[in-house]
Amino acid sequence: MKNLIGTSALLGLLHGAAAQLQSGIYTHYPDCVNGPDLLTSNLVCDPSASPADRAAAIINAMNITEKLANLLDVANGTERLGLPPYEWWSEALHGVAGSPGVNFTYEGDYSYATSFPMPILFSAAFNDELVLDIATVISTEARAYSNAARGGLDYFTPNINPFKDPRWGRGSETPGEDPTRIQGYVKSLLIGLEDTDNGAFNSSGSGFKKMIATCKHFAGYDLEDWEGNIRYGFDAFITTQDLAEYYLPPFQTCARDQNVGSIMCSYNAVNGVPACADSYLQETILREHWGWTKDNNYITSDCNAIWDIFANHNYTTSSAAAEGISLVNGCDNACIVANTYVTDVNGSYYGGFVSEDVITTALIRQYEALIIAGYFDPAASNPYRAIGWDQVNTPYAQELARTAATEGMTLLKNDGTLPYKFANGTDCKVALIGMWANASYQMQGGYSGPAPYVHSPLYAAQQLGLDYVYANGPINQSTLTSNYSDAAMSAAESADVILYFGGIDISVESEAMDRYQIAWPQSQLDLISQLASLGKPTIVLELGSMLDATPLLDNKNISALVWAGYPGQDGGPAAFDILTGAVAPAGRLPVTMYPADYVNQVPMTNMSLRSGPGNPGRTYKWYDDAVLPFAYGLHYTEFKASFSGGAASGYHHGNGNGWGHGNGWGSVGAHGQYNIQSLLSGCTEAHPDLCAFRSVAISVHNTGDVTSDYAAVLFSNTTAGPAPYPLKSLASYTRIHSVAPGQTAHASLNMTLGVLARRDENGNQILYPGEYNLLLDVPTQTTMSFRLTGQAAVLDQWPQPPANQTYSAAEDCPLYGPCAALGQPVE
């Protein structure tokens, strides 16, 4: 059985109509001053008490009927206790978005929010200071909505599942394919969203979280609907090695390192157990191994995922049993899509599938999060409560949205035509052609709310005063028809330069919709070829997710190719910033560009990273036949990057990987030797994988004639440890700004021991002695080697799954064990 409405994306895409789909429950704060005596006399209203004690006090004051009424995302509150209803489902992936907890007006105040580019694009900037700035604006605007009773205090963001398969319909929601890149991204994002850093409160000094973020989707989720496999019932067979090495590190950063308020369990199962019913994932790994209990942090289900445990996974015999087993195994809140299926909360308790103690614990976790966000405290004591409409879509936010788009846009080909000096008036006529040239809401991508404006490339051309002609183009048709080709060719023939804005959009890829092809649509390739044959400068801008651009890269008549993703509310002007050279491109691909035939070489259902039968390998770490590799990106100038000797003091310290503190060790030296035990003995980190290694000092010389940013990327590889060996792994990165012609900029790339370590077949993270290589830039400009000596050291002893939840890629099938007692009442 398939869900009638897949998720909040389907709501978010309705933009202005979103308010009509809402539950009608918005954030009204409890009144601890003038509320009923049962509230004002309760410890929950005492700001001097601990959040845990305050949450326990209000939940223990409820009877079982009241408790059951608050286990869903649509929490009914408790009128007797002065506890108002609360909607736990609000969205803010790249701006406050349409969702049951967010109520946009139709015009005027609170009718829109800043719409930043999709994460896949601003992640391509390799600039985590930018990520932090974006998150800070999003949380400010989210607070404005909650203060006006038009949004929640918690938001279902970010999506941090690694984007390993190019067909995945939700890849644009993520930062890309590399877990180290995602870890740096999500660390900075969470600091901006929650205004805390590993539980320490930042800018406000108030002791309140700015908002409650929700890292999703835990875990192994990257399939929507492919060849009859739907996410609601998909069972992802993942080895312990791949789980610990690839799928879970971003969540480790969320839970262990940043103490995020909430995590969302996913629709799929992992090795036979639905994620929301999986005690190994939710209790053993999250809460026990990662210690994610500091604030009684809570887990919410993806929406209708509890129903899916019964209806699509067939894991229990009833909806009541599904709710019961999810609560018992660590999931605290069941999100449901209104008017679809019923999560039988009452049946879970009265049928004997869950005890009141478990229900009480789940509710205490949720309400402690609200307390830390200031839900029960006087507005005057919380500086976030003063945020209002005047801080939504400010001039700074507008500028940041445009900057985020330009910093991520990535130059993939250029014969020298770019930057193009467009002349105003009649001296230069520009043809703007393609389905993206006059795009509107498509510029935003998925999980979007109404934007204050959406500026298309056509709008940008008008604002620049260009003499232009416009023609639409096909989207995903296999055959080019004359209604497109005639108009496009007529426009191109009358122009001096041709700008083609194409690719795919959310009608081709989205939540609940994977792709079967990663080639450019044939109709667009045919049209571009015809346009390029005119012999005029022809510049292609690819929007949407990555496609195999081989035909465009090989066509000598195509002057330049720029990837622009989903660029947000100011995407058109941002594109022209790149085209004109007002901003020099310095983005890097956050994913591998695979050849079109890759989709015929491995099924989406194969979750293995390493190559094997029916799998050529996944991501740049294990696949070596890319059209363009991960972190590829050209510039309008030339950079010479090299390792530089000497201490790191006085250098620009890169903090892109999330570990920007100075490590005190100085800089790595070529052919240096470093003893593993000495490195560990000098470390004061609670987790050895976060122990600092020596930083890497680099010099970047601009040998060209254009001022440009430069995103430095450093990789490592080794043959230490067990085979097979990854080709290379991202070790550090940072973005250096505005390097002038002739200037040499310096940076210090910080590394941890964790980025050098490897995972064995049991998931243990081990730092092995042996030879290591450092590779700078893509393509590699220079290398350096060093040696680790001493004894191999385990940095992270991975908890082993139950015997009936193991999977080996060498076996034909997973090692399932019987699910005894499923659907049976508990004591």
Query: Over the stretch 30-45, which tens digit does the pLDDT of each residue have?
Result: 999 999 999 999 999 9
The SS3 assignment for 575 reads: helix
- The strand pair at 708-718 and 729-739 is best described as antiparallel
Question: Between 61 and 13, where is the model more confident?
Answer: 61
CA proximity to 320, closest of 301, 291, 280, 347: 347
Q: Whole-angstrom Cα distance, residue 448 to residue 96?
A: 7
Contact 58, 52 (CB under 8 A): no
Give the side-chain half-sphere CA count within 13 A for 685: 21
Mean pLDDT of 202-210: 73
Contact 531, 538 (CB under 8 A): yes
Given this model, what pLDDT does residue 427 score?
A: 75
Given this model, what pLDDT does residue 197 score?
A: 79
> Does position 178 have pLDDT exceeding 60, yes or no?
yes
> Does position 662 have pLDDT exceeding 50, yes or no?
no
Type of residue numbered 799: P
Given this model, what pLDDT does residue 408 score?
A: 98
Average pLDDT over the chain, rounded to whole?
Answer: 92
Given this model, what pLDDT does residue 207 score?
A: 86
Q: What is the pTM of this model?
A: 0.94
Q: Which residues contact 22 (CB under 8 A, 6 or more apart)?
A: 87, 99, 100, 101, 102, 103
Given this model, what pLDDT does residue 341 score?
A: 85
Q: Whole-angstrom Cα distance, residue 702 to residue 744?
A: 6
Number of DSSP helices (H) and strands (E) in the chain, helices first: 22, 33
Mean pLDDT of 688-712: 97
Mean pLDDT of 660-679: 71
- The strand pair at 560-565 and 672-675 is best described as unpaired
Burial code of 679-711, b = ≥16 C-beta within 10 A, e = fewer?
A: bbeebeeebbbbbbbbbbbbebbbebeebbbbb
Q: 276: which DSSP letter? A: G
Contact 480, 496 (CB under 8 A): no
Q: Whole-angstrom Cα distance, residue 789 to residue 794?
A: 14
Angle at 367 between CA 362 and CA 371, to 5 degrees: 150
Burial class for 52, CB neighbours closer than 10 Å (0-12, 13-18, 19+): middle
Burial class for 436, CB neighbours closer than 10 Å (0-12, 13-18, 19+): buried
Question: What is the side-by-side strand order in the sheet with 758-759?
Answer: 758-759, 765-767, 793-796
Mean pLDDT of 381-385: 95
Return the C-alpha torsion angle 370, 373, 374, 379, nearest 10. -130
Mean pLDDT of 123-148: 98
The SS3 assignment for 827 reads: coil
Q: Which tokens belong to 83?
A: 């506890």
Return the C-alpha torsion angle 303, 254, 30, 23, nearest 10. -20
Q: Which residues contact 386 (CB under 8 A, 6 or more apart)?
A: 147, 379
Burial code of 132-167, b = ≥16 C-beta within 10 A, e = fewer?
A: bbbbbbbbbbbbbbbbbebbbbbbbbbbbbbbbbbb
CA proximity to 211, closest of 262, 260, 153, 258: 153
User: 429 - beta bridge partners?
Assistant: 467
Type of residue numbered 619: T
Given this model, what pLDDT does residue 339 score?
A: 80
Signed CA dihedral, 275, 370, 128, 172: sign only: positive
Mean pLDDT of 633-659: 67
Given this model, what pLDDT does residue 827 score?
A: 35
> Does position 6 have pLDDT exceeding 70, yes or no?
no
Given this model, what pLDDT does residue 9 score?
A: 38
Contact 414, 480 (CB under 8 A): no
CA proximity to 657, closest of 117, 103, 126, 92: 126
Q: 809: which DSSP letter? A: T
Q: Whole-angstrom Cα distance, residue 94 to residue 113?
A: 10
What is the percent of the chain where pLDDT is above 70? 90
The SS3 assignment for 820 reads: coil
* Residue spans of alpha helices (H) in 432-542: 457-463, 482-493, 522-532
| Terminal-residue alpha carbon distance, the chain | 31
pLDDT bin (cut points 50, 70, 90) of residue 682 is confident
Give the side-chain half-sphere CA count within 13 A for 609: 26
Catalytic residue among 195, 222, 235, 302: 302
CA proximity to 218, closest of 295, 178, 277: 277
pLDDT bin (cut points 50, 70, 90) of residue 405 is very high
Q: Which residues contact 813 (CB under 8 A, 6 or more apart)?
A: none
Query: Over the stretch 267-321, which tens digit does the pLDDT of each residue have?
Result: 999 999 999 999 999 999 999 999 999 999 999 999 999 999 999 999 999 999 9
pLDDT bin (cut points 50, 70, 90) of residue 25 is low
pLDDT bin (cut points 50, 70, 90) of residue 236 is very high
pLDDT bin (cut points 50, 70, 90) of residue 825 is very low
E strands, 53-94, are 74-75, 86-87
Query: Over the stretch 53-75, which tens digit does the pLDDT of each residue have?
Result: 999 999 999 999 999 999 999 99
* Residue spans of alpha helices (H) in 148-297: 179-194, 240-242, 249-252, 279
The SS3 assignment for 406 reads: helix
Contact 225, 514 (CB under 8 A): yes
Q: Whole-angstrom Cα distance, residue 101 to residue 59?
A: 22
Q: Which tokens belong to 765?
A: 């993270």
Query: Over the stretch 587-615, which tens digit does the pLDDT of each residue have?
Result: 999 999 999 999 999 999 999 999 999 99
Say whether 390 is catalytic.
no
Contact 821, 814 (CB under 8 A): no
> Does position 28 have pLDDT exceeding 60, yes or no?
yes
Residue 805 phi/psi, 5-degree rounding, is: -125, 35
Given this model, what pLDDT does residue 523 score?
A: 97
Contact 212, 369 (CB under 8 A): yes
Question: Between 652 and 181, where is the model more confident?
Answer: 181
Type of residue numbered 430: V
Contact 405, 397 (CB under 8 A): no
> Does position 661 have pLDDT exceeding 50, yes or no?
no
Contact 369, 154 (CB under 8 A): yes
Query: Over the stretch 533-581, which tens digit does the pLDDT of each residue have?
Result: 999 999 999 999 999 999 999 999 999 999 999 999 999 999 999 999 9
Query: Over the stretch 410-467, which tens digit does the pLDDT of each residue have?
Result: 999 999 999 999 976 557 999 999 999 999 999 999 999 999 999 999 999 999 999 9
